[in-house]
Amino acid sequence: RGIAIALEHELWERAYNSYFNLSDHSFKRDRYDDALRYLAAALEVARRRGTRPGEWGTLAETTYPLYMTGRWEEALASAAAIPEDRLSQATTMSLLTSVLEIHVHRGNPGEARRLLSLFQHLEDATDIQDRVGYLSAHAAVLRAEGRLAEAVTTGVEAAELSRASFGVGSQSDKQGLVEALEAALALGERERATELLATLDAIPRGLRAPYLEAQGH
């Protein structure tokens, strides 16, 4: 009986991780409808297993494809289902590339800063994924606050570190580079913006995420 339960648990865990990883791959290629299908399956597995951290992590991941496809109210509703005092108990970094950006675009930099502060402990994290997630979001907040020079520096650091560690098209790569570009243009630093665009041109077209291709244009 115990062996059967352990085996069933392992199968559920594999299924959950498989759906989660497939959704992340879809993020990189901007295939957000595919990502939402994988995450819906992952959420069902998490709920059937009764794992709340798995459920919260999946809801957080779901906010990103919802944000990128313009379904902002749905993204905010998914985020609202995650207790703020439990953010560190699940994989919730996607909130920094979705909900935080929604606050910025809606002219609420204070709320974006407040959300970022909930992840303050990751500013000097030794885990690269945690660190670049914080850095790219910080760049977005800095630009929203008018601290443009800092936004350029922070955004570039996030994009370069993310690309070196996780390849082209990760959430932090996209967020960091675009924030740096926008800040450079706002400063009138066209040469700096041109340099950043050149990093996009250097990516083979077949590997370039459609979102970054559009930003380049």
User: For the segment 80-101, what is each residue's pLDDT rounded down to a tens digit?
Assistant: 999 999 999 999 999 999 999 9
- Beta carbons of 130 and 166 less than 8 angstroms apart: no
Give phi and psi for 202, each to the nearest 5. Answer: -75, -15
On average, the pLDDT of the chain sits at 92
Looking at per-residue pLDDT, the higher value among 168 and 68 belongs to 68
Q: What is the distance, to the nearest Å, from the Cα of residue 88 to the centroid of all Cα atoms in its chain?
A: 15
d(CA 165, CA 176): 14
Report the C-alpha gap between 20 and 58 in whole angstroms: 8
The whole-number pLDDT of residue 31 equals 96
185-200, pLDDT tens digit by residue?
A: 999 999 999 999 999 8
Residue 2: its pLDDT value, please?
Answer: 54
Band of residue 204 on the pLDDT scale cut at 50, 70, 90: confident
What's the pLDDT tens digit per position in 20-55?
899 999 999 999 999 999 999 999 999 998 889 999
Confidence of residue 14 (pLDDT cuts 50, 70, 90): confident
Helix or strand holding residue 134 (H, E): helix 128-144
pLDDT > 60? residue 5: no
